[in-house]
Amino acid sequence: MKFPAEPFRIKVVEPIKTTTAEQRESLIKEAGYNIFLLPADSIYIDLLTDSGTSAMSDNQWAGLMVGDESYAGSKNYYHFESVVKEIFGYKHIIPTHQGRVAENLLFSTILKPEFVVPNNIHFDTTRANIEYHKAKALDCVIDEAMDTDLEHPFKGNIDIDKLRRIIIDQGPEKIPIIMITITNNSGGGQPVSMANIRQVSELARKYNIPLIFDACRFAENCYFIKEREEGYQNKSVKEIAAELFSYGDGCTMSAKKDGLVNIGGFLAVNDDGLARKITNMLILIEGFPTYGGLAGRDLEAISRGLIEVLDENYLRFRINQTRYLGEMLIQSGIPIIKPVGGHAVYINAKKFLPHIPQSEFPGQAIVVELYRRSGIRAVEIGSLMFAYKDAKTGHTVYPELELVRLAIPRRVYTSMHIQYVAEAVHQIYNERDNICGYKIEYEADFLRHFTARLRPINGNN
Ligand code: F0G
């Protein structure tokens, strides 16, 4: 079967409210045409993010009941530590309440102003945590990643020549770590190959620079390696993960993705001195090292989630459910990033709405239209999120890619929901000439997309 059916059956259901077109019209207007300002219970299918939105299994829910809420030495921490060590192979496991805290702890410990951190593409919170310390976050993904139509099996790969040039130009003493984000969220959820990881690792070791993974979607990345990279077809995803992490010195992890939980994360490192410093910071900002900002029951749910995420029946379904949506859209002629990534389908808004310039937010126009027509919430990753005014010239600089992300929560929506989404996108694509652009009425000084208020530019909307 090309697209396998759900490898689970449904034991508990959460009703979703349906709304009328009139209700949505007034809700989106009230929200200033910003989907972040909509009440979530007015949404039929929520594809805002795959983060913290997973459905937990019966086994994970059962795990909550054996939560040991002792302040120190909770048995759930020891279980969590042993599971993480077994999968990731690192020595020190530091729990945090989500991924960005792991980043914050790491960067507050290792960064000085003018330091440089290369990555394939830094996720927003990673970049922000680096820039907060007046250091530079440099992206060195392969050029192919920017060509949305190009089919390439590992578009998340790092360009080794770019990385080498950065190390030589900046000097290795200014580079405290090299990072690789698996899968590369900001570049379309694209995987990184084992061969590329091996090459980055060799270069990092040559210059004595630790290699740290941003491991949020590690299981999805490993599944792609199994599917696409020669020599891995007969290895289990768990074995692939063990090899992959052996090339690095640690990782940051948001368990809200491949941990299959609604909250949680961790930092894992081999270096004893670094672990000690970070643990001291952890006590200051998150909590005691055996809970790190989480309840004992949360740690138990993560341990069980990390085991479940390596189940290849689950991963086959997961990757193919995302692909199913992507392929339906491709068949309708809708421009998306190819090949389809692991956790989301990304629509190319510049091609979808060529009559709307980036200054009028074509990505946001698609997002608004999807909500108003079908109650679906997607998110713009384009000029509303990233355009900025150049301090010297005063001109607005627009991002190269103008995207709309349809992120698929794990184990939450059925294939019928996915078909509904494909049909809804197809419908607005057929009527795209009637869609108009938007103008900002209010924006904050930074991270404006969360709170901005907009207004349609002409009467049709
Ligand atoms: N790294 C990557 C690659 C991410 O995608 C995210 C979160 C984080 C780090 C931060 O983790 O949210 O637990 O603090 N991505 C979410 C998203 C928010 O929608 O893509 P966090």
Does 30 fall in a domain? yes
CA of 178 relative to ligand 1 center, distance in Å: 18
Say what the pTM is: 0.96
The number of the ligand 1 atom at minimal distance from the alpha carbon of 254 is 13
Q: Whose CA is nearest to atom 8 of ligand 1?
A: 99
Q: What CATH number is attached to the domain comprising 140?
A: 3.40.640.10
Q: Which of 185, 253, 322 to mutate to test the pocket of ligand 1 (most atoms within 8 A of CB)?
A: 185
pLDDT at 442: 96
Q: Whose CA is nearest to atom 7 of ligand 1?
A: 51
398 and 379 inside one domain = yes
Domain boundary among 242, 273, 308: 308
Buried b (16+ CB within 10 A) or exposed e, 204-243: beeeebbbbbbbbbbbbbbbbbbeebeebeebebeebbbb
302 and 389 inside one domain = no
CA of 436 relative to ligand 1 center, distance in Å: 31
Does 207 fall in a domain? yes
30 and 67 inside one domain = no
Contact 183, 145 (CB under 8 A): no
CA of 376 relative to ligand 1 center, distance in Å: 21
233 and 370 inside one domain = no
Domain boundary among 292, 308, 324: 308
CA of 36 relative to ligand 1 center, distance in Å: 16
pLDDT at 459: 57
Buried b (16+ CB within 10 A) or exposed e, 281-311: bbeeebbbbbbbbbbbbbbbbbbbbbbbbbb
378 and 301 inside one domain = no
The set of protein residues with a Cβ atom below 6 angstroms from ligand 1 is 49, 51, 98-100, 123, 125-126, 181, 185, 214, 216, 254, 256, 265
The number of the ligand 1 atom at minimal distance from the alpha carbon of 255 is 13
Does 431 fall in a domain? yes
CA of 251 relative to ligand 1 center, distance in Å: 14
Rounded CA-CA distance 132/370 in Å is 35
CA of 214 relative to ligand 1 center, distance in Å: 9
Q: Is the dihedral of CA 290, 294, 297, 302 positive or negative?
A: negative
45 and 173 inside one domain = no
Rounded CA-CA distance 27/42 in Å is 8
| Stretch (H or E) spanning 80 | helix 75-88
Does 428 fall in a domain? yes
Rounded CA-CA distance 291/185 in Å is 28
127: Cβ contacts below 8 Å, ≥ 6 apart: 137
CA-closest candidate to residue 356, choices 346, 364, 345, 347? 364
Q: Which one-letter DSSP state was computed for residue 54? A: P
198 and 300 inside one domain = yes
Q: Considering its fold, how many domains does the chain have in total?
A: 2
What are the backbone angles phi and psi of residue 213, rounded to the nearest 5°? -90, 140
36 and 63 inside one domain = no
424 and 317 inside one domain = yes
Q: Which of 179, 181, 183, 254 to mutate to test the pocket of ligand 1 (most atoms within 8 A of CB)?
A: 254
Q: Which of 46, 190, 216, 405 to mutate to test the pocket of ligand 1 (most atoms within 8 A of CB)?
A: 216
Contact 268, 80 (CB under 8 A): no
Q: Which residue has the tokens 């620079």?
A: 209
How many separate helices (H) and strands (E) can be counted in the chain? Answer: 16, 16
Domain boundary among 308, 334, 361: 308
CA of 461 relative to ligand 1 center, distance in Å: 32
Rounded CA-CA distance 184/120 in Å is 7
Does 354 fall in a domain? yes
291 and 339 inside one domain = no
Q: Whose CA is nearest to atom 2 of ligand 1?
A: 123
Does 7 fall in a domain? no
pLDDT at 24: 98
CA angle 459–396–346, rounded 5-degree value:
70
112 and 184 inside one domain = yes
Burial of 258 (0-12, 13-18, 19+ CB in 10 A): buried
Contact 437, 457 (CB under 8 A): yes
Q: Whose CA is nearest to atom 9 of ligand 1?
A: 99
Q: Whose CA is nearest to atom 16 of ligand 1?
A: 51
CA of 257 relative to ligand 1 center, distance in Å: 8
Amino acid in position 59: N
Does 163 fall in a domain? yes
For residue 384, the enclosing domain spans: 21-50+312-456
40 and 176 inside one domain = no
Both tokens of residue 185? Answer: 């969220």
Q: What CATH number is attached to the domain comprising 434?
A: 3.90.1150.10
Average pLDDT by stretches of 10, the chain with 461 residues:
93 95 97 97 98 98 98 98 98 97 97 97 92 95 95 98 98 98 95 98 98 98 98 98 98 98 98 97 96 97 98 98 98 97 97 97 98 97 90 91 96 97 98 96 90 86 47
Does 5 fall in a domain? no
The number of the ligand 1 atom at minimal distance from the alpha carbon of 98 is 13
Rounded CA-CA distance 439/447 in Å is 17
